[in-house]
Amino acid sequence: MVRAICAMNCRRIIEEKKRSPTEHALIAPRLPMQFHTLHKSALSLCAAGVALHLYTAFFKAEGGTGAAAFLIGLFLWSCTPYAIAAVLAWSRWAAWGLGAAAACLAADVFVHYTVFVAPKGSTAALGLLFMPLWNLVAIGPAGASLFWLAHRIFARRRGVEAD
């Protein structure tokens, strides 16, 4: 078994040496620097989203100790889209995670503004309950798809194949 694996690796190395440096650049799935930047950016946006919801649930909300269980549940429910985006960012689909995190954060900042800064009515706070559902079902997937498409188009222009 070990001998077969070594033989496969040797064949792969020999095949790679036959290619020119330009061919290596064209076949590479992604540049290491590019993946690292996407990874860090996606996780930074996820951390910003979690910080926004932490601030909202524990500093802006009122209700005292009686509402602590509800606020913890609201915080966990609100962080679910960012957890999914972080999982995507840790995997090989960092572009998907970055797009989902950016779209969810933009939507959450808008809801935070409409609930706490410029509320239009008494039911404005319901946005805090339903926004995570919208982020999971529509906004996160749409942002991930759009960012992946843009990432793929720009990668093709550079001559590197994107995931």
- For 86-108, how does the pLDDT look when each residue is reduced to its tens digit (9 = 90+)? 999 988 888 899 999 999 999 99
Would you state the pLDDT for residue 15?
60
Q: What angle do CA 21, 24, 29 make, to 5 degrees?
A: 150
**Are 42 and 151 within 8 A, CB to CB?**
no
Query: Confidence class of residue 157 from pLDDT cuts 50, 70 and 90?
Result: confident
Q: What is the pTM of this model?
A: 0.72
Name every residue whose Cβ is closer than 8 Å to that of residue 16 and which is 6 or more positions away in sequence.
24
Q: 24 falls in which pLDDT band (50, 70, 90)?
A: very low
CB-based contact 153:21 (threshold 8 Å): no
Helix (H) or strand (E) holding 91: none
Place of tokens 């524990």: 58
Q: What confidence tier does 10 reach under pLDDT thresholds 50, 70, 90?
A: low
Predicted pLDDT at 29: 47
Q: Please answer whether residues 104 and 143 qualify as being in contact, where contact means their C-beta atoms are separated by less than 8 angstroms.
A: yes
Residues shown for the chain? 163
Helix 140-158 vs helix 94-112: angle between axes, to the nearest 10 degrees? Answer: 130
In the chain, where the domains are located:
30-158
* pLDDT for the residue numbered 27: 47
